[in-house]
Amino acid sequence: MNRRAVIASAALIGVLLLALFYPALRWLVSEWLGNDYYSHGFLVPVISAGVAWRLWVKWPADSRRVKATTVGLLPTVLALGVYLYALLERAYFVAALAMIVLIAGLVWYLLGTAALRLLAFPLLFLLFMAPLPFVEPLSVPLAQLTGVIAAGVVRLLGVPIIVDGAQVTLPNAHLVVGAQCSGLRSIVSLLTLVALVVFLVQGTWWRKSLLALSSIPIATLGNVLRVASLLGVAHVWGADAGFKYYHDYSSIVFFLSALVLLLLFSRGIGCREIRDDIF
């Protein structure tokens, strides 16, 4: 098959896949636009495609083995069945997961086992673009827990404060710690970013595992300190200053602070260099 025929075949397959995946992609886009926890979703397929391209380009020609295997048909067909059934049931989260498995199955079938192994990370990274159905229900109880801990921090500084569920009472203000204070948005975004960093840096598996696991406590601690600072600002300058003006800026500041801490931790455990088989 000549080069022009290969390009035409690839373009045709791409168009057919876009038509097949359109319902799931439309749901994903609507979630990325309307779900604050997954507003980073647009970046995930772009990053995944970029990493896949770099891996493919850097794959040594002498070890490149592109060989179709019929074994890949099994997960492809199964994923297609699950995908179509999920669409019928309007289970779009399941459809999105099945779509990713279907893409992986096609890679396995068309390009072979070696290519699937090579592209394993960018394929798995696509999971971060699918909004988990249990994230939003977790936000309220996590926000209340964060409020209790943050109030304890503020109380240690000598500020009289009373916490009753989501209600927080300061001497000069009465506040509600809502779902936005749960920190889940920062945790989800940070986990996505850390997964990419863990893949890109050089290091032993246990160092990389430690780096990945550290993201949750660092993000959680950062959010507790953020809410504590909100309460402190509200105590000194009033509720409007804390929960209207300072609130939005503090999210960015503490996310960047958590990211800096993670990068410093990465350097501290020896994960300092970028892999040379990608860049």
Kindly state the tokens that stand for 182.
């749960």
Cβ burial, residue 192 (10 Å; 0-12/13-18/19+) = buried
pTM (2 d.p.): 0.87
| pLDDT score at 175 | 77
Kindly state the tokens that stand for 149.
């801990």
Identify the residue whose tokens are 């495609």: 49
Kindly state the tokens that stand for 259.
């990211």
Render pLDDT for 119-129 as a digit per residue (tens, 0 to 9).
999 999 999 99
Q: How confident is the model at residue 62 (pLDDT cuts 50, 70, 90)?
A: low
- Rounded to an integer, the average pLDDT of 219-227 is 86
Q: Domain ranges in the chain?
A: 3-129, 136-268
Q: How confident is the model at residue 52 (pLDDT cuts 50, 70, 90)?
A: very high
